[in-house]
Structure 1
Amino acid sequence: MKHLLLILGLGIGFMSFTYQSDVPEIINALKSANAEAVSGYFDSYLDLTLPGKEEVKNIGKNQAGIALKQFFSDAGVHSFDLTSQREAGTTMYMAGKLNGKSRSYNVTLLLRNKEGRHQIISIRIN
């Protein structure tokens, strides 16, 4: 019985480390201005707001990835500075600055835990 409890406890412990492992990867993808890597964490459908454009609700993952890649290219995004990160239940909020060639942009991401990994459900850049 003790062995079963030990194995169960270790399994739960290891799963909790796996649960958080994708957040640093998302941050690193933003820091390296890799839109393709960021879009790998998009949910199937998400809300997207880019500077000078109306918010698009329920845009498909592929279309959002293309739009983000185009924005990164046009703005010359080269780095990201995380300023805030909060988690409540299965939802996480991250905010920071995307640094472009001529200016910085505020960015907020809303993520949710789905099937053991964080997925971006909203990204707003202004």
Structure 2
Amino acid sequence: MKKGNVLENKSFAFSIRIVKLYTYLCNEKKEYCMSKQLLRSGTSIGANIAESTQAESDLDFIHKLAIAQKECSESMYWLRLLEATDYLNSRESESLLADCTELIKLLTSIIKTKKKQMVEKNNH
């Protein structure tokens, strides 16, 4: 992981939090289905961001980040569902939801910037 890559660092930290939450939900709350879905989507964010650093093209780069964006949205769904079904309280879910929102904003900004650069490159 690059020392200065904010997106990679934040997504990695988010993945760690998701793994710890998964362990808590399984061990303490005996919840296995929704938490497994959250584990998959929540850790996939960072994995797709890591893959994007080795993208074969600008379009591949955008595609990987767009997948990460979708995984963020899915993670938010599972977090809200876990809260709505009383496996998490609002305090537990709010911080993770805020992290997801921040990741989506970063991903959106990077995707928009890359698309703009591609248009400018094609116009020259």
Same fold (TM over 0.5): no
TM-score, length basis structure 1:
0.30
Larger Rg: 1
More helix by share: 2
